[in-house]
Chain A
Amino acid sequence: MALLQISEPGKSTMPHQHRRVVGIDLGTTNSLVASVISGSPTILKQIDGSNLLPSVVHYSKDKILVGKDAKNHLGKDAENTISSVKRLIGKTINDVNKDHFPLNLADGDGVINIKTSMGIKNPIEVSAEILKTLKIVAENKLCGELMGSVVTVPAYFDDAQRQATKDACTLAGLNVLRLINEPTAAAVAYGLDKKPRGCFVVFDLGGGTFDVSILNLSKGLFEVLATHGDANLGGDDFDQAIVNFLNDKYKLNITDIEIQSIVSILAREIKESLSIKKEVEVLKKISGIEIKETFTQEQFKILVKGLINQTLKATKSALHDAKLNNEQIDGVIMVGGSTRMPCIQEAVKNLFKQELHNDLNPDEVVALGAATQANILAGNGQEDLLLLDVTPLSLGIETIGSIVERIIPRNTTLPVAMAQEFTTYKDGQTAMIIHVVQGERELVDDCRSLAKFTLKKIPPMVAGAAKIKVTFQVDTDGLLSVSAEETTTNARATIEVKPSYGLSEDKIKAMLQSSYDLAEEDKASRALAETKVEANQLIELTQKALDTDKDLLSESELTSIKNDLSELIDSLKSSNNDKIKEATKKLNLQSESFAAKRMDRSIQKALTGKSINKLEF
């Protein structure tokens, strides 16, 4: 029994058509995946039960480890253990300082090559391993294949870095609905996109990086006005401040790696405790030296004052770049685990003189926002879809009688691919014109013509025997590609068009309106066109039959068939659906016995001169 989730009113999906989508925060230190479950954005837990997947990949000769298992190799096998790959993606070897990475880096024709035990890997491949792990977690949890994902990137990522991130997703088998900026995702998580307008600050202090962004919201779209930050400032530096203090005071050996790693862990514990408690007592023996200390939040604040000031300075610079002052800010969002520190919260609050958005888990807020965005893009959400992300008008092809056969209905979420099978209309037909049209009307002339191309090399067969599969595919950028394929011979033809090109919103509205106004008329025109197609087919068949087998008919029979035939031809000149239908019916009836006689003759022909056992049935 499949398990159900509660849908938004009117958004229940058909069975087997759930749109499973996720939001992914592909972080420098940790990565997360989230999805909207029964209306609530929820972090999907990793196999070990934790919410975070460390963004670390370890390559051995025949095995790839990702996450915690890989992290365990950081100390022992640094060369083959890649962390912070986000700092390398989309960059060339000239962009990075090789000394900052304990890896074997080399130039690889535009990308950075990383030499590992498993061979040369590039940052795209390494990121894809992390994404693959997240994808598996999500598909297990959501019980099925993902339709798409929204992946977050820092606001300052350039085109190359964004493209490389997209490539990593493709390599991991993830369909990217959209890349969105991390600060935007955070704002979405707090529901700020539902406000009419405003300017927001996103203060993101992670484990190893600090970013501050100024966002401007108008008409539901976020624009990044300015970003600032420090790629090498984060929670680790706050730990280091405590480490330095302890080293100084207790004269610890700073060259002894073992001692220093114990001190580091201790410092981290102190920092984290001070985020929930006013003071922490420490009593620990490190290689014979007894450490006895009481840390208070006040004391800690003094230790890290320089670091706090650095973040404030960057924030002020970003404000300056955005040409705003701190009173023009409508909201401040705290992102990243390090913003849990009370001293940071207090400093930011003082700067903007307002309460902070900090009630969501700062480690998860970006992934949660991405999941919300993915849900909206997939059309599962409470909100109506953005016009950009659906087909504004239906797409279809012309069939006999100038009738439009719709293949992708309007308002279908992008990306989408739909196929339909068509066949030939005449005996021995070897080519087919595919006329791609857009619009809601029933007849081709009332729709917008987008493109025309010909599928050739259809093998000659009787009418209706060929199977021609026409596939329409529209990607996220609205690019339509149409392909036609004769399935028995694989003869193929394709074309690409941009359907929205040159269509204004008003034009789309007008096209829709006319389809509503003229719905009745259109229904009638379509019916008439269909009747005409049928009539023409009958006329053609009858004429062909008369040419070959006229002698089967008596004089009177011939005359009445001929009469009915000309009556039908005449009726076609009018546009009277009923009249044509009537005439078609009459000729059909009249020629019934003729058809039976012809059938007898052809059977006789087939049987003549053949012995019974040579007959093929």
Chain B
Amino acid sequence: MAISLTERAAKRAKSYLKSRGKGVGLKFGVKTTGCSGMAYVLEFVDETSPDYQVFESHGIKILVDPKSLVYIDGTELDFVKEGLNEGFQFNNPNVKDSCGCGESFTV
């Protein structure tokens, strides 16, 4: 069971956390919705909770709720630039199919 960040993603996350002024880390998860079943959740976390499994990668704490973990175990979060656009991308080995735009997926 592991969740990780690439170095690039960790660097970005660190600077976002810094400019936000608070937060202990990031929360990864999934929720059931969207045109293809599930969608990713990527949020700042202000307080850790004992219900969450905590991973650490390149100095960034990642919190995952146990229900989500089964869908995203082994995922690596990357930060990519595509032309003018830039943002985070989940490289999730569990994904079987995703909708055209990639905002939601099925496992």
Contacts and interface: CB of A to CB of B under 8 A. Distances in A.
Interface stretch (A5-13, A410-418, A479-487, A572-580): A5-13
A615 interface: no
A3 B87 contact: yes
B25 to A, nearest CB: 11
A9 B88 contact: no
Contact of A16 (B26, B34, B40, B82): B34
A141 interface: yes
Contacts of A5: 42, 87-88
B13 interface: yes
A38 B77 CA distance: 15
Nearest to B31: A12
Given A9-B27, A9-B44, A15 B103 contact: yes
Contacts of B19: 39-40
B54 interface: no
Contacts of B40: 4
Interface residues on A, range: 20 to 34
A571 to B, nearest CB: 40
Interface string B27-45: 1000101110001111111
A4 B99 CA distance: 15
Interface in A29-46: 38-40, 45
B88 A6 contact: yes
Contact of A3 (B31, B41, B43, B86): B86
A237 B12 CA distance: 42
Interface string A135-149: 000001111000000
Given A1-B98, A15-B39, A9 B87 contact: no
Contacts of B33: 14-15
B16 A140 contact: no
Contacts of B27: 9
A361 to B, nearest CB: 14
B1 interface: no
B64 to A, nearest CB: 14
Interface class of chain B by DSSP: strand
B7 interface: no
Interface class of chain A by DSSP: loop
A12 B41 contact: yes
B44 A8 contact: yes
A612 interface: no
A2 B104 CA distance: 9
Contacts of B31: 12
Contacts of B86: 3
B56 interface: no
Interface in B36-63: 39-46
Nearest to B83: A140
Contact of B42 (A4, A10, A40, A45): A4
Contacts of A1: 89, 98, 102
A9 B103 contact: no
Q: Which one of B46, B83, B87, B90 has the highest number of Cβ atoms from chain A below 10 Å of its Cβ?
A: B87
A144 B82 CA distance: 14
Contact of B44 (A4, A7, A15, A45): A7
B96 interface: no
A6 B29 CA distance: 12
Contacts of B98: 1
B87 to A, nearest CB: 3
B107 interface: no
Contact of A8 (B43, B84, B99, B103): B43
A204 to B, nearest CB: 24
Contacts of A15: 33-35, 39, 99, 101, 103-104
Contacts of A10: 43
B84 A140 contact: yes
Q: Which one of A15, A40, A45, A142 has the highest number of Cβ atoms from chain B below 10 Å of its Cβ?
A: A15
Contact of A7 (B12, B43, B80): B43
Contact of B43 (A9, A14, A16, A142): A9
Interface of A: 1-12, 14-16, 38-40, 45, 140-143
29 contacts: A2-B103, A3-B80, A3-B82, A3-B85, A3-B87, A4-B90, A5-B42, A5-B87, A8-B43, A9-B27, A9-B45, A9-B46, A10-B43, A11-B43, A12-B31, A12-B41, A12-B43, A15-B34, A15-B39, A15-B101, A16-B101, A38-B12, A38-B87, A39-B44, A40-B16, A140-B83, A140-B84, A140-B85, A141-B84
Per CB-CB distance, the 9 closest pairs between chain A and chain B, nearest first, are A3-B87, A15-B103, A15-B34, A1-B102, A2-B102, A39-B20, A12-B41, A4-B88, A40-B19
Given A4-B42, A12-B41, 4 more contacts: A8-B44, A9-B27, A9-B46, A15-B39
